[in-house]
Structure 1
Amino acid sequence: MAAGGGLRFLLVALRFLLVALHMAAASAALPLVVNTWAFGKATETAWRVLQMGGSELDAVEKGCAQCEMDQCDGSVGYGGSPDESGETTLDAMIMDGNTMEVGAVADLRRVKNAIGVARKVIEHTKHTLLVGESASLFAVRMGFPYEDLTTPKSLSMFSEWLNQSCQPNYWKNVVPDSSKSCGPYKKTEKVICKEDWISSQRRISVHNHDTIGMIVIGESGTIASGTSTNGAIHKIPGRVGDSPIAGAGAYADSTAGGAAATGDGDIMMRFLPSYQAVEYMRMGTDPTVACQKVISRIRKYAPKFFGAVICANTTGSYGAACNKTPGFTQFHFMVYNPSLSQPSEQVVDCI
């Protein structure tokens, strides 16, 4: 009995040690900042906010705002991706994984700090999403200044597009033929075939549309996520993509994990990839596998879509996945955690 009791004691002690080691490993991986693309300054800003005692929401807001100021790749913030009228408009969202509150703005005009306005939606309204001119008026009430989002670069992009007979664009089933000339367009009764729809996917690529999506997890496992973008270049005015839509552009749940997406928002938003990835992680799926599963799901319907997803669970494990297409075979994303002395650019091969 004594020998048996001693063995049981050793087994219990060993089990306790393994649990303690697991918890120590998990805490060592936190806090964590992960964001799409090689936007290292945004990662560093978010990390610095955490180190100075800021909340996870603060870190997401300031990290994404850094990209807005830096005009990351021309796809975030002012002066990029002019729409069909030559105007740059912004989309952004931020989500609190503790309360499940979301603040978002879409088609925001003449206000540079879109993620900041999205944060104010959480703090000062009972709403989730504000859009268009009314979102801009709300921003002004919250103390944000009106500023011109147009730059010489965006005007040049718009002028070049006009000189190329407005190619590419996002119209279909219209006259005149949108593949050959500019509008104004009127509807036609022609029914688009699947092949036309698939070929239209090639208009979106890493070179003309992406987003900063960010996940921040604090030392206690509290999660926040957010996005900011100026949308698809030459979009039809009023278009809203996946970025400001909770569950599509990003999602956070402090009981499971966080995720964020980037790419062709018109396709990706139909599948709520960020929400789905978090639900996979809730069931115990590894973050990398969770990202791969949502990419594979979208690919069944849109095999040539451009897109990627980042995922992180409550222990600080993270991963990413992307859809392999010509010219897009790898996806770069940023990570910062206690094991790193500076933001780390990481690369994943597309599937």
Structure 2
Amino acid sequence: MATKNLFLSYTLLLALLHLVVVHEALNSGPYPLVVSTWPFLDAVRAAWRTVDSGFSAVDAVVEGCSACEELQCDGTVGPGGSPNENGETTIDALVMDGVTMEVGAVAAMSYVKDGIRAARLVMQHTKHTLLVGEQASAFALSMGLPGPTNLSSSESLAKWSKWKENRCQPNFRQNVVPINSCGPYHPRDSLDLTKEACSRAKLLETSESRSSLVGLHNHDTIAMAVIDRMGHLAVGTSTNGATYKIPGRVGDGPIAGSSAYADDEIGACGATGDGDIMMRFLPCYQVVESMRLGMEPKLAAKDAISRIAKKFPDFVGAVFAINKNGKHAGACHGWTFQYSVRSQEMDDVEVFTVLP
């Protein structure tokens, strides 16, 4: 009997030691890790609580971006944010699973406030990658998301009214003449211009540069990357897009490889800034591929930004990069960029500042 009890005790001890080793393995190294554009502290905390509780990287990204939508981060994420030329607020969002390389995204979505959850539903319940406009809204509602909801707010409508009073300046039009101060617009070369029309055309030609059209509070994205306890990666984004954008415009927010990208074997990237310019270069795909070739995150991020700046010196934008080992860095152009990080070595979220 004593021998049997000793054997049972020994077996129990081995089992406990195994649990300790497994627990230490799950908590060793850089995992879990949450990285996000800007000092969106509460969004990072929401993602951290999710991933630290053992949920997947995709779950954490969705919870983090959803928190930013609810908080209306910087007035450019979620309902009630940046209006377009018609005064309407819309949402672009994306989620990408770095394990399967699956992507779900929505763009120019009205009447549904849960952009990131709609994007995940696209990934889960369709064989598509991107749904847009009113049909994206209809899909999200059919999948059970709440709505329809008016995404405009008193703040967004007041902002739009003030812009209208300023003759709809600045805007994203070029080489056009407005029949009235706020349109409709026609190609400049297609009209027999009167002196007054020439004056209006000159006004548009001398309107503000891209750097004044794009900034922290008029064109901003939450882009988030998470490494979960198993070392798996996911990324997500959500944004209202450019303030006073031309209706129908879709920026880089819901475009995989531009606003965000993740590959379990390599790492991940998130971006923010002038999406019309940045999406032409797929900077986040470039960052991950550069890391695949052996570049450290800092050099990969700088390289991606410098490629854009070489062609568009006045563009405004930034990226952060993390490799699969949890090493992170950022790079920017045209503004000072900040990104937020939470890891198990930290007591709370820490904000890193990157100079242009």
Normalising by structure 1, we get a TM-score of: 0.87
* Cα distance between partner residues in 1 of 2:97 and 2:219: 26
Residue identity opposite 1:229 in structure 2: T
Deviation readout 1:173-214 (Å, 9 max, x if unpaired): 111289xx310111223899xx97993443212231110000
Opposite residue 114 of structure 1, the aligned amino acid is G
281-290 or 238-247, larger mean C-alpha shift: 281-290
Alpha carbons 1:75, 1:210 under 8 Å: kept: yes
Question: Does the CA contact (< 8 Å) of 1:264 and 1:307 recur in 2?
Answer: yes
Amino acid at match of 2:256: A
Picking from 298, 302, 307, the partner of 1:297 is 307
Match of 2:159 in 1: 157
Distance 2:137 2:312 in 1: 34
Aligned to 1:33: 34
Structure label with greater radius of gyration:
2
The one of 318, 323, 334 aligned to 2:340: 334
What amino acid does structure 1 have at the position aligned with 2:219? H
1:78-227 correspondence to structure 2 within 5 Å: 78-145=79-146, 146-176=148-178, 181-189=181-189, 199-227=209-237
Of 326, 330, 354, 1:348 maps to: 354
Q: How big is the alpha-carbon RMSD for the aligned residues of Structure 1 and Structure 2?
A: 2.0
Shift of 1:219: 2.8
For residues 100 and 206 of structure 2, the distance between their equivalents in structure 1, rounded to whole angstroms, comes to: 43
2-structure distance, mates of 1:323, 1:64: 24
- Structure 2, unmatched stretches of 5+, are 1-24, 191-200
Taking a change above 3 Å as real, the CA distance of residues 175 and 42 of structure 1, as seen in their structure-2 partners, is same
8 Å contact kept, 2:210–2:315: no
Are the counterparts in 2 of residues 169 and 234 from structure 1 also a CA contact under 8 Å?
Answer: yes
- C-alpha distance in 2 between matches for 1:277 and 1:169: 31
User: What is the CA distance between 1:147 and its match in structure 2?
Assistant: 1.0
Identity of aligned residues (%): 53
**Match status 1:233 vs 2:239:** no
Q: Take 1:168 and 1:129, find their aligned partners in 2: how far apart are those partners?
A: 30
CA distance in structure 1 between the partners assigned to 2:208 and 2:317 by the alignment: 15
The TM-score normalised by the length of structure 2 is: 0.86
AA of the residue aligned to 2:341: V
Aligned-residue offset at 1:311 = 0.6
2:107/2:254 contact within 8 Å kept = yes
The answer on 1:257 being equivalent to 2:267 is yes
Give a deviation string over 1:295-342, Cα, whole Å, max 9, x none: 1000001111110001100000011110035xxxx2111001111011
**Does the Cα contact within 8 Å between 2:111 and 2:150 map onto a contact in 1?**
yes
Measured after TM superposition, the shift of residue 74 of structure 1 is 0.2
Task: Tell me by how many angstroms 1:51 deviates.
Answer: 1.6
Q: 1:287 aligns with which of 278, 297, 320?
A: 297
Give distance in 1, aligned partners of 2:311 and 2:268. Answer: 24
What amino acid is aligned across from residue 90 of structure 1 in structure 2?
A: I
